[in-house]
Amino acid sequence: MVDYILVGGGAFARELHDWFTPSLTEAGSRFLGYLDDGDEPMRAYGHALPQLGHIADYRPDPAHRLVMAIGSPAGKQKIVDQLGAEHFSTLIHPTAWVSRSARIGRGAIIAVFADISANAIVGDFTTVNGYSSLGHDAELGAFATLSGYVDLTGGTKVGMSSFLGSGSRVLPHVSLGERCTVGAGAVVVRSTGDDVTLYVPPARRL
Active site residues: 136
Query: Position 8: which residue type?
Result: G
- 3-class DSSP state for residue 157? strand
Question: Is residue 160 within 8 Å of residue 175, measured between CB atoms?
Answer: no
Which three-class secondary structure state does DSSP give residue 13?
A: helix
DSSP SS3 for 149? coil
> Quick one: three-class SS letters along 39-100?
CCHHHHHCCCCCEEECHHHCCCCCCEEEEECCCCHHHHHHHHHHHCHHHECCEECCCCEECC
Contact 93, 115 (CB under 8 A): no
SS3 167: coil
Query: How distant is the alpha carbon of residue 93 from its chain centre?
Result: 12
